[in-house]
Homo-oligomer: A and B are copies of this chain.
Amino acid sequence: MADTTHGATDALQIDFAKGDGLIPVIAQDADDGMVLMLGYMNEESYKKTLALGEMVYWSRSRGKLWHKGETSGHVQKVIELLIDCDEDTIVARVQQIGGAACHRGYRSCFYRRIHNDGSAEIISDTVFDPNDVYNNGGTH
Residues on A facing B (Cβ under 8 Å): 3-12, 24, 26, 28, 32-35, 37-38, 50, 80-86, 89-91, 102-106, 109-116, 118-126
Task: Return the 6 tightest CB-CB contacts between A and B, nearest first.
Answer: A33-B33, A82-B110, A84-B109, A12-B120, A81-B114, A9-B121
- A95 CB to nearest B CB, Å: 16
7 A-B residue contacts at CB 8 Å? A5-B122, A11-B120, A12-B120, A35-B82, A37-B84, A82-B123, A90-B114
* Given contact pairs A32-B33, A111-B85, A113-B81, A4 touches B120 in the complex (Cβ within 8 A): no
Given contacts A7-B121, A7-B122, 19 further A-B contacts (CB under 8 A): A4-B104, A4-B105, A5-B122, A8-B121, A9-B119, A9-B120, A9-B121, A11-B119, A11-B120, A26-B26, A26-B38, A33-B33, A38-B84, A80-B113, A81-B113, A82-B123, A85-B109, A85-B111, A89-B110
Query: Considering only CB atoms, which chain B residue lies closest to A38 in the complex?
Result: B89
* Given contact pairs A8-B121, A104-B4, A124-B6, A83 touches B114 in the complex (Cβ within 8 A): yes
Query: Considering only CB atoms, which chain B residue lies closest to A105 in the complex?
Result: B4
Please name all residues of chain B whose beta carbon is closer than 8 Å to the beta carbon of A50 when the two chains form the complex: 114, 116
B102 touches A85 (CB 8 A): yes
